[in-house]
Chains A and B, each alone.
Chain A
Amino acid sequence: MVWQLIIAGLAMGIVYGLVAMGFVLIWRAVGVVNFAQGEFLMLGGFVAFTLIEMAGLPVGLSLGLCALIMGLAGVVFHFVTYWPLRKSWDITVIISTIGASIALKETATLVWGPAPLGVKPIVPGIAKFGSVFIDWQFILTIGIAALLMAAVFFLLEKTYLGHILQATAQDQYAASLIGIPVVLATGLTFAISALITGVGGLLLAPIFFVTSTMGSVTGLKAFAAVIIGGFGSVEGAIIGGILVGMVDTFSGAYISTTYRDAIVFLCLILALIVRPQGIFGEKISEKV
């Protein structure tokens, strides 16, 4: 049983990790918590349904199109919630993302209806390793998540564009002084964040079904993952996600199935008290 739990915890951890990565990217870029991040997951799921089930497009094309659509969605989101408020108090942006989260959920219900939707998996079937079972789709998700994480890491650390994004994240004013078009940098970061989480939604749609609320609690738990892993880094987000997935699964099995959510949030509070900057620490020091 323990191995099955480990695998399940890992799988759920990747889910949280994909949302957490999106959180961290936006946080690093503009210092704001995006309360609608979970809704990017939901949006990815609905886009997946539209492309794969309704339009019947082949898998590879769907994946690519979904990434594109989610990237564009991220840009739109950026201009609607962040850009007009970039000079205001950050609370206003948070409120705006809360409003966006509600609006997105309702739009999804109005457009796709309230019924949960199934999407056929990219890789069907269950893989069996000894006494441990796992959906092949989950294995694919873990693989793609790893790829995405590597890609983001490569982008941010090794490319010129990535350095621009990092520079803008550290100090928007200074970045603009040296000629970096800030709007491009922040817009692109939002796009990447939405893309990653949205593709996560597409990959997970066959496993968890698509509903307008699939992002809500997941979003909050992913938020806990970010805190635990550290707000500063993308690696921290993934590690935090996996940790939360493990805690979620194991506390469900060994402590209490009903209090498992509460236990995750208890860990959030404990992590904040013991090590507020998270495991990987926050790269940007808090402005006093």
Chain B
Amino acid sequence: MSKKAFWLVAGLLAAVAAAVIPSVASNYMLRVVNMTMITYICVLSLFIVFGMAGQISFAQSGFWGVGAYITAILTTKLHVSPLAALGASAVGTAFLAALLGLALFRLRGHYFGFSTIGVVMILNGIFQNWKPVTGGADGIANIPSFGIGTFEFGTETSNFYLILAVVIIISIVTWILRHSPLGRSFMAIRDNEIAANCMGVNSYLTKNIAFALAGMYCGIAGSLFAFLANYISATTFTFTQSALYLVMLMLGGYNSLPGPIIGTTLLMLLPEWVRFLQEYILLIYGLGVMVLMVVMPDGLVGGGKKLYEYIQNRRRRNGWPNGVAGSASNDLG
């Protein structure tokens, strides 16, 4: 199929889905979908900093919180317009991430990851206790909905379209990034940092860029969350939440774009389908993660690829007429 036709079909499918979902879904399910999309943006941030650049970070949920609080404070206390607040969240969180990165990327390998544990715990402590700014344990209530001009995104449905638009844009940006020289330098660092340095990649600077970009994603996600929920409190932005992002990324597959989509969707929607198992959900979740790591360490996408290649090999062995030359499956793209 030609490239144009391919994208046409894909675009049509997406359009159909977007039109269909809000009309068949209840308010409750729409909220779940909206939260899934917001979480997906955070998982995408981890995809950049960890999946592509190889730096494990537990700070993402903290950055999510920073974005949420920036928007909440600006809109409730300073009456800034929602659009400006969204921008401020994006830029502010990116800035914070860059600042932290400057200090922390001097640490190598797993040490950086450990420091991000410290970062999220400290951020959570600040959210929970800095009463004059973050409201402390009370959180911040009555956050207005997002709006452009006079149009207010007040309903679940309108939020769905808003968040979907952001998700599509960010996904496209990420896809472009992955195929760009910058993206390749991220992956070079992930695969072998010293070699990357030898080939002219300034790993310190590049890692910082990745971290700041990831921070920006989380900042945007946080802002959208504040507009959606109209109330935020510190208990949402925890280390456990960051660990969840990591699980979602690994579950779906850290190496390609479909991975975060699948991982996030599965882990956010599955608990809703099995609500009747209420007390056992978390247990099944924990066990499920363990089992999945053993069975499919490359995530579902990786497992899917393996399955695909297995089928291809079987076909080839059975003399399937279509092409004898081995498929050079490269891991890029």
Report whether chain A binds chain B: yes
Residues on A lying within 8 angstroms of B by beta carbon are 33, 35, 80-81, 84-85, 88-89, 91-93, 95-96, 98-107, 110, 220, 223-224, 227, 256, 258-259, 261-262, 265-266, 268-269, 272-273, 276, 286, 288
Which residue of chain A lies nearest to B254 when distances are taken between CB atoms in the complex?
A91
* Set of chain B residues within 8 Å of A98, measured between Cβ atoms: 243, 246-247, 289
Residue in contact with B114 in the complex, picked from A101, A102, A268, CB distance below 8 Å: A268
Q: How far is the CA of A266 from the CA of B125 in the complex (A)?
A: 11
* Set of chain B residues within 8 Å of A102, measured between Cβ atoms: 282-283, 285-286, 289
* Set of chain A residues within 8 Å of B290, measured between Cβ atoms: 80-81, 96, 99-100, 103
* Set of chain A residues within 8 Å of B125, measured between Cβ atoms: 258-259, 261-262, 265
Residue in contact with A272 in the complex, picked from B107, B128, B194, B282, CB distance below 8 Å: B107
Given contacts A96-B294, A259-B125, A265-B121, contact A91 B287 (CB under 8 A): no
Given contacts A227-B114, A265-B121, contact A84 B286 (CB under 8 A): no
Residues on B lying within 8 angstroms of A by beta carbon are 56, 103-104, 106-111, 114-115, 117-119, 121-122, 124-126, 128-129, 194, 239, 243, 246-247, 250, 279-280, 282-283, 285-290, 293-294, 297
| Contact A106–B104 (Cβ < 8 Å) | no
8 further A-B pairs in the complex, CB-CB below 8 A; given A95-B250, A103-B286: A99-B286, A110-B279, A262-B124, A265-B122, A268-B117, A272-B114, A273-B115, A276-B108
* Set of chain A residues within 8 Å of B115, measured between Cβ atoms: 268-269, 272-273
B283 to chain A, nearest CB (A): 4
Residue in contact with A273 in the complex, picked from B103, B119, B293, CB distance below 8 Å: B103
Which residue of chain B lies nearest to A35 when distances are taken between CB atoms in the complex?
B243
Q: How far is the CA of A88 from the CA of B107 in the complex (A)?
A: 24
Q: Can you list 23 A-B pairs, Cβ within 8 angstroms, ordered by A?
A: A89-B297, A91-B246, A93-B293, A95-B247, A95-B289, A98-B247, A99-B247, A99-B290, A103-B283, A104-B286, A110-B279, A258-B128, A262-B126, A265-B121, A265-B125, A266-B118, A266-B122, A268-B117, A272-B104, A273-B104, A273-B106, A273-B115, A286-B108
Residue in contact with A106 in the complex, picked from B56, B282, B297, CB distance below 8 Å: B282
B108 to chain A, nearest CB (A): 7
| Contact A276–B122 (Cβ < 8 Å) | no
Which of B108, B283, B290 has the most chain A CB atoms inside 10 A of its CB? B290
A213 to chain B, nearest CB (A): 11
| Contact B297–A92 (Cβ < 8 Å) | yes
Which residue of chain A lies nearest to B299 when distances are taken between CB atoms in the complex?
A92
B50 to chain A, nearest CB (A): 8
Q: How far is the CA of A89 from the CA of B246 in the complex (A)?
A: 14
| Contact B106–A95 (Cβ < 8 Å) | no
| Contact A262–B246 (Cβ < 8 Å) | no
Q: How far is the CA of A223 from the CA of B119 in the complex (A)?
A: 14
| Contact B117–A223 (Cβ < 8 Å) | yes
Given contacts A98-B247, A276-B111, contact A269 B293 (CB under 8 A): no
Which residue of chain B lies nearest to A277 when distances are taken between CB atoms in the complex?
B111
| Contact B122–A99 (Cβ < 8 Å) | no
B196 to chain A, nearest CB (A): 13
A43 to chain B, nearest CB (A): 14
| Contact B194–A288 (Cβ < 8 Å) | yes
Q: How far is the CA of A227 from the CA of B121 in the complex (A)?
A: 15
Which residue of chain B lies nearest to A268 when distances are taken between CB atoms in the complex?
B118
A256 to chain B, nearest CB (A): 8
Q: How far is the CA of A14 from the CA of B85 in the complex (A)?
A: 47
Given contacts A35-B243, A92-B293, A259-B129, contact A269 B279 (CB under 8 A): no
B267 to chain A, nearest CB (A): 11
Q: How far is the CA of A95 from the CA of B234 in the complex (A)?
A: 24
* Set of chain A residues within 8 Å of B243, measured between Cβ atoms: 35, 98
| Contact B117–A220 (Cβ < 8 Å) | yes
